[in-house]
Amino acid sequence: MALEEYQRKRDFKQTPEPPPKVGKAGQRRFVVQKHRATRLHYDFRLEMEGVLKSWAVPKGPSLDPADKRLAMQVEDHPVSYFDFEGIIPPGNYGAGTVMVWDMGTWDPQGNASEMLQKGDLKFRLNGEKLKGDFALIHMKSRRPGTKGTEWLLIKHRDAYDQPGYDIDHYDYSVLTKRTMDEIAGDASSAEWKSSRPASRVGTLQKSSWLADSIAKLDARKAKEARQSAGAKTTKSAAAKSLKLNPAPAEDTSKELTESPRAGAKSSAKKKASRRMTSSPKE
Ligand code: MN
């Protein structure tokens, strides 16, 4: 089922996010959500086949064709996530503030499913902030320690391109016109202001930051898994869970985007199996 992973990561008694329900196919809406979780990022979602195909874009989309934005494919989301804006409470997966940064419709420039499969998705956006032709390109060469979930989001040259585009000038919700701080509420905004900008610049500026940091994190997780998995999980149980949960696509992006504590509902066994599947040996 398309939304299994979405469901597995969340406790719907704890989070205000919508339940995992597959919608009807055929509609072509898109949404970009600005998400201040462990790290600030933008979630780019295209409605396709009754779900929202989703990518976490650390720097956010750009209208400047010179920008090649890293986009980590993450788990499909239900279509009802389309207008989700608000706060995911502490302790939940992706805890933090979510803004509906842009929304609209999209038109694939070809067969959407085939282009997605091929890793070369060309489309036109008709949103409030994002307009014109874009491409999502799957990066074929998997770097060591990555899961093959890295894509690039690129604006094509057209009437809507905008050299020097600065996404920070557009910090408002297209749904409610609120800023991130207004959505987060006054109580927490002071804290966010003092801590976020510095960490964002530090982690996102260097070109080699991605491969290095992911490789280190995966190596550390693999080591932890080797040390703890033996005691908690029998070999057959581990093999079984590997079979049942093949290579979760979100693992690399999770380190960029979400809290390492993946949710209140995870059991120790689940955590162990997740560590096992994130081994860089694959
Ligand atoms: Mn997110």
Digit-coded pLDDT (tens) for 125-168: 999 999 999 999 999 876 677 778 999 999 999 999 999 999 99
Q: How far is the CA of 230 from the centre of ligand 1 (A)?
A: 32
What pLDDT does 1 receive?
45
Q: How far is the CA of 37 from the centre of ligand 1 (A)?
A: 7
Which position has the higher pLDDT, 96 or 145? Answer: 96
Split at pLDDT 50, 70, 90, the class of 253 is very low
What pLDDT does 230 receive?
55
Prediction pTM value: 0.67
What pLDDT does 199 receive?
34
Which position has the higher pLDDT, 26 or 249? Answer: 26
Which residues are in the CB-under-5-Å shell of ion ligand 1? 35, 43
* Closest to 247 measured CA to CA, from 217, 215, 281, 278: 278
Q: How far is the CA of 39 from the centre of ligand 1 (A)?
A: 9
Q: How far is the CA of 89 from the centre of ligand 1 (A)?
A: 14
**If you average pLDDT over residues 19-41, what whole number do you get?**
92
What pLDDT does 237 receive?
44
Q: How far is the CA of 235 from the centre of ligand 1 (A)?
A: 33
Query: pLDDT tens digit string along 46-87?
Result: 999 999 999 999 999 999 999 999 999 999 999 999 999 999
* Closest to 47 measured CA to CA, from 24, 30, 62: 30
Q: How far is the CA of 185 from the centre of ligand 1 (A)?
A: 19
What pLDDT does 248 receive?
37
Q: How far is the CA of 98 from the centre of ligand 1 (A)?
A: 8
Phi, psi at 178, each rounded to 5°: -80, 155
